[in-house]
Amino acid sequence: MIKKLLFIPAALALLAAVMAAPLAGCALVDQLCRDLAITNKTFPDGTVGALYTGQMTVDSNCDWWRLEGNNLIEYSVKSGSVPPGVELDAKGAFYGVPSAAGVFAFDASARHAVRNMEVSKSFTISIH
């Protein structure tokens, strides 16, 4: 009975350390928490010669996300192309004036600058 009682404080101390780890950036927690997702389903259509804007967004269920959010996310086009005249900046904003009509297909990426996490998703933008 005494051995069981001595084990409980040690187990509680270990549990407390594990629960505090996400806030400290524990590498083990980073390995277990890989749920980074681009939340956009589509982007709006645009018109040749008219200003086009859009914003990529990501989300995560990880504990560190509540502290860092989008602050360390970098966005890019991995393949394909956005409409000519429109760019995707590192903060996920599409901005520009499309110069050609068409349907433009591309793979966009969101990468966490410190945690070595990246997610990609395919999109199209139609310009009329």
> Which residues, at least 6 apart from 94, have a Cβ–Cβ distance to it below 8 Å?
43, 52, 53, 54, 55, 56, 82, 86, 87, 88, 125
Is residue 22 predicted with pLDDT exceeding 60?
no
- Mean pLDDT along residues 32-55: 89
Q: Token digits for 11?
A: 């187990």
Query: Which CATH number goes with the domain that contains 121?
Result: 2.60.40.10
Structural domain boundaries enclosing 93: 34-127
Phi, psi angles (nearest 5°) of residue 95: -155, 135
| CA-based nearest residue to 106, from 34, 38, 36 | 38
Q: How far apart are CA 96 and CA 127, in angstroms?
A: 12
> What is the pLDDT, as a whole number, of residue 36?
83
Q: 94: which strand partners?
A: 54, 88
Q: Are residues 16 and 75 in the same domain?
A: no
Percent with pLDDT over 90 in the chain: 53
Mean pLDDT rounded to a whole number for the chain:
81
The H or E element containing residue 27 is helix 27-32
Same domain, 21 and 47: no
Instruction: Tell me the per-residue pLDDT of 61-95, one tens digit each, with 9 for 90 and over.
Output: 777 776 776 778 999 999 999 999 999 999 999 99
Are residues 46 and 7 part of one domain?
Answer: no
What distance in Å separates the CA atoms of residue 59 and residue 98, rounded to the nearest whole number?
Answer: 28
The answer on pLDDT for 25 being more than 50 is no
| Count of the separate structural domains present in the chain | 2
112: confidence class by pLDDT, cuts 50, 70, 90: confident
Both 83 and 39 in one domain: the answer is yes
